[in-house]
Structure 1
Amino acid sequence: MKSLNRFFGAIVALAALALATNATAQEAKHYRFAYDQPKITGYGILGDIFAEKLKALSKGTMLIDQYPGAQLGQEPQVLQLVKSGDIDFCISSSANAATLSPQAGVMSLHFLFRSEGHLIKSIADPKVSEAVKAMIADTVQGARVIALATLGLRNMYSKREIRKIEDIKGLKVRVQATPTEDTMFPAYGAQIVHMPFGSVYTSLQTGVVDVAENGVNVYLANKHYEVAPVLSMTEHEANNSLVWVSDKLWNSLNPEQQGWVQAAADEVNKNQPAKAIELEHQSQDKLKAIGVKVVTDVDKSGFTAVADPYLDKLAKELGPHADKVKTLIRAIN
């Protein structure tokens, strides 16, 4: 009889364990996290930091499924899908964020960031992050920003060298569709062309545009060097990003879960910028090794002479949130 009782006891224990395991599996939820760059870019670094921290904090109950390389659409479309609640999380450039909140264009002001070191400190600064979150909360419905990130500084690339401002006069430059870009490049004497990022390679190849501009790793990862083999380190603008969550998802989470999501986002804010800059340096070394011409001695004085008067003017025109963000960033040493 005792052995029979032990047998039934073991059966009950196994059943209880199975039920507990099943309950844990049911509690684990998967969330879609979309971005338009390949996983090997700073966006992948961001996605991994966020996913790993959220998994740890939630004890495996909140799991991130990453969709890189525009699998779920280009950034402007994905932003709309996050707003509608059809995608849970996404990364967008600050320039594409400006399609929802024009004041986000402040992050794209030319020569706002004095150096890579200044950029890292600025994006990781909690006050800057909170000011951008407040800007989005006040101007966008359906989605919220939970973190800032960067892919480094943007540079121009073409079939020719850009060593000084005179070298881009009259050239067709693919720019992001923001008021800041639409103001600055014509001020330098260039012609602007808007197009989705996915069209840049072919447009450079066919001559629809003469010049494009982006971060070093983005240029490498998307093989734009094949059609524009000269990278000129103009460092005219930061390649900043915002991490979004849909209000539909956010409002469905309990306070503890919201805390986990924000803590994972804070981890991104703190650690991603320096890792992204490191990736930029590694990417430049790889480009040189495969024969890409990297022009490091660009004379920026002509660009900055044109851009400096616009910093305060454009920030004020964009709005009070933008002006506050600009002031906070400029004050960081």
Structure 2
Amino acid sequence: MKYPARIVAALTCAIAFAAGAHAQDAKHYRFAHDQQLNSGYSVAYDLFSAKLKELSKGTMLIDQFPGAQLGQEPQLLQLVKSGDLDFAIVSSANTSTISPQAGVMSLHFLFRNEAHVVKALADPKVIEAIKTMIDETAQGLHVIATGSQGVRNIYSKKEVHKVDDVKGMKIRVQATATEDTMFPAYGAQTVHMPFGSVYTSLQTGVVEAAENSVNVYLINRHYEVAPVLSITEHEANNALLFISDKLWQSLSAEQKQWVTTAAAEVSAKEPAKAFDLERAAATKLKSIGVKIVTDVDKSGFTAIADPYLDKLAKELGTHADKIKTLIRAIN
């Protein structure tokens, strides 16, 4: 059947109006981090944004700003606190710049292995304890999920086979009380700097080594200036997903539930995917000739680190001590 032109025009206008109204209903939010795409952080974004879009029927859309486009992690935290950024995923270590007790997640050898990391970061009691820690020690933001970028290893121009090999070594570390205690305990010298400065500092010799996960080492091309990766696995590379309090308070009860459910998807699925990226990265690094030292004797490191677990957790505070105890109890 052929409709009159005026009816076709009216229908076209109605469809266009409905589409426009739907587009107006959709709201965009900003999600930032300091890593490249194909990182654990971008995986967290993919999971969170897809689930939130599904639950909200396209009314809550998340735009990603990777690669420190909006700032390094300490700056991102300040932007979230002020309400100028909606969401950010940040390492638990850098979170200690606004909540020192978050340094508990950086305790060396707190986690026994990959399975322990994945299970702990999805544990409801651990997640609730972390949320409470932030709510009671920082203002302007809330933790809604946990994440991972694997575990951290040392990279340099020299091989590390045992703890004696790091004595006197200038290592760029994250600026936490935990790092500033542990690396000197091994005999190393700690140096702080923004992540974005690590490549040049390794290149120029300002530092002799740095430490991070395998995939971060790969995608940021740090192997070009530090071609030896020693698998020390001294620390879990944990992350926390934040929402600004300003945004949280503006959401309806239903929207808050959508955000909470989408965030749970990150805690449940992202850590395992992050470790998959770690394995793929190691394969890629080997294929391009990077030296990976797998026979690191960790016993010397753990002998030094173990006595600090309880001591540092207690010194950091009651929240930190509770989180440490909950994580250690997970089998």
Deviation string for 1:41-69 (max 9, x for gaps)? 11111110011001000000110100000
Q: Give secondary structure in 1 for the equivalent of 2:324.
A: helix
SS in 2 for 1:92: strand
Q: 1:84 corresponds to which letter in structure 2?
A: S
Deviations 1:132-183 (A, max 9, x none): 0111011110111100000011000000001100000011010100000010
SS at match of 1:138: helix
Cα distance in 2 between the residues matched to 1:23 and 1:79: 34
Q: Which residue of 2 aligns with 1:50?
A: 48
Which residue identity is paired with 1:137?
Answer: D
Partner of 2:135: 137
Question: How many Å apart are 1:184 and its aligned residue?
Answer: 0.3
Distance of 2:115 and 2:320 partners within structure 1: 22
Q: In 2, Cα distance between the equivalents of 1:319 and 1:12?
A: 67
In the aligned structure 2, how far is the partner of 1:159 from the partner of 1:13?
A: 69
Residue 296 (str. 1) matches residue 274 (str. 2): no
Residue 314 (structure 2) aligns with: 316
Code of the residue aligned with 1:202 in structure 2: it is T
Map Cα deviations across residues 282-319 of structure 1 (whole Å, 9 max, x no partner): 10011011000000110001100010000001111111
Runs of 5+ consecutive residues of structure 1 not aligned to the other structure: none
Give the superposed CA RMSD. 1.4
Return the letter of the residue paired with 2:156. Answer: S
| Alpha-carbon shift at residue 9 of structure 1 (Å) | 5.8
| Match status 1:243 vs 2:244 | no
1:185 aligns with 2:183: yes
Query: Match of 2:67?
Result: 69
Aligned residues: 330
**1:33 aligns with one of 25, 31, 34:** 31
In the alignment, what sits opposite 2:154? Answer: 156
- Residue 111 of structure 2: aligned partner: 113
Residue 214 of structure 2 is matched in structure 1 by 216
- After the TM superposition, which residues 251-290 of structure 1 pair with which residues of structure 2 at under 5 Å, given as runs? 251-290=249-288
Instruction: Please tell me the residue identity of whatever aligns with 1:252.
Output: S
* TM-fit CA distance, 1:16: 3.6
TM-score after normalising by structure 1: 0.96
1:19: how far off?
2.7
| 2: CA distance, partners of 1:211 / 1:18 | 58
Deviates most, 78-87 or 213-222? 78-87
Where 2:226 maps in the other structure, the secondary structure is: coil
Cα shift at 1:11? 5.1
SS class of match (1:56): helix
TM normalised by structure 2 equals 0.97
CA–CA distance in structure 2, aligned partners of residues 272 and 15 of structure 1: 44
Q: Mean alpha-carbon deviation: is it higher for 125-134 or for 219-228?
A: 125-134
> Letter of the aligned partner of 1:298 in structure 2?
V
| Superposition pairs of residues 1-12 of structure 1, within 5 angstroms | 12=10
Tell me the SS of whatever aligns to 2:150. Answer: strand
Could you list the per-position Cα deviations for residues 54-98 of structure 1 after superposition, in whole angstroms to 9, with x for gaps in the alignment?
100000011010000001111101110111111110011001100
